[in-house]
Amino acid sequence: MRTYVVTGSASGMGAASAERLRAAGHRVIGVDLRDADVIADLGSEAGRRHAVDEALRISGGTLDGVAAVAGVGPAMPDAAAVASINYFGPVALLEGLRPALERSGAGRAVVISSNSASTVPLIDDTLLGLLLDGDEGASRDHAATAQAALPATVVKSAPSISAYATSKLALARWVRRTAVTPEWGRRGVLLNAIAPGAVITPLMTGSTDVTATPDPDSFPTPMPLGIFGQADDIAFWVEQFLRPEARFTTGSILYVDGGTDAAMRTDAQPTAMHR
């Protein structure tokens, strides 16, 4: 039996991930705003400290894996909160729990990015830089200011779409930059990201004008498989990344989106290194 922390464990992909790990016989420490072992708001510094402290206390200071699943979608009215929750929340949690992962001898961490990072044409380069610089105050201020400048039609349907896509891109880049540093890679703590596409969860149905059973052929982005994902489709890969046998994969971004990114950006990956 291994011990894992799963954020966002009360619903959606986080709940499916926690359930899958428990079904495999593992101990799961759930973190969420409600119905969890640790009640914490990852959008605040105090909430993140509380989540880290409680996870360490409950686990005894050693963790086999962390799945940072918690996040909010583009329908959230407050773009500043999106930046805090989607980027600074998982980054602070994983940095705080890294020593506990190292103690296990085969620590694994996985975060949830999004294919919106590469398929939404509203990336805010200034916000991206502020996020990656770790400046939460400036990130929040800029996200709020940029949100006010968005067209009214965009704000009506997805008020935080730019902050959402940008925060998910920043998170993916943080994973790639961090995973290969000595304190992670050389100490056996592997770090990867999953980039889901259109998955039927409360976050998706709350962020789009779709029903619980939308038509994939009328969806705004291509759906090559003709189906939507389910929360367990993501939970499956969360579990794989957290397995101790996953010993030679770090810094990867796995698209689990039914082929949407491949359809929209066929030649974008891989890119050749040029001298």
What percent of the chain lies above the pLDDT cut of 70? 96
CA 119/CA 121 separation, integer angstroms: 6
CB neighbours of 158 closer than 8 A, spacing ≥ 6? 74, 75, 164, 207, 208
- 202 pLDDT above the threshold of 80: no
* pLDDT score at 211: 53
> Which CATH number goes with the domain that contains 187?
3.40.50.720
Chain segment 56-94, per-residue pLDDT in tens: 999 999 999 999 999 999 999 999 999 999 999 999 999
Chain segment 204-237, per-residue pLDDT in tens: 665 555 556 689 998 989 999 999 999 999 999 9
* pLDDT, mean of residues 34-51: 98
4, 87, 164, 255: the catalytic one is 164
Which residue type does 191 have? L
* pLDDT score at 92: 98
Domain range for 173: 3-259
Query: Is 164 one of the catalytic residues?
Result: yes
* pLDDT score at 237: 98
* pLDDT, mean of residues 116-139: 97
What are the respective helix, strand and coil percentages of the chain, to the nearest 5?
A: 50, 15, 40
264 lies in some domain: no
Contact of 192 with 252, CB cutoff 8 Å: yes
Q: How confident is the model at residue 30 (pLDDT cuts 50, 70, 90)?
A: very high
208 lies in some domain: yes
Q: Average pLDDT of the chain?
A: 95
* pLDDT score at 209: 53
* pLDDT score at 154: 84
217 lies in some domain: yes
CA 215/CA 93 separation, integer angstroms: 37
CA 247/CA 224 separation, integer angstroms: 31
Total number of domains in the chain: 1
199 lies in some domain: yes
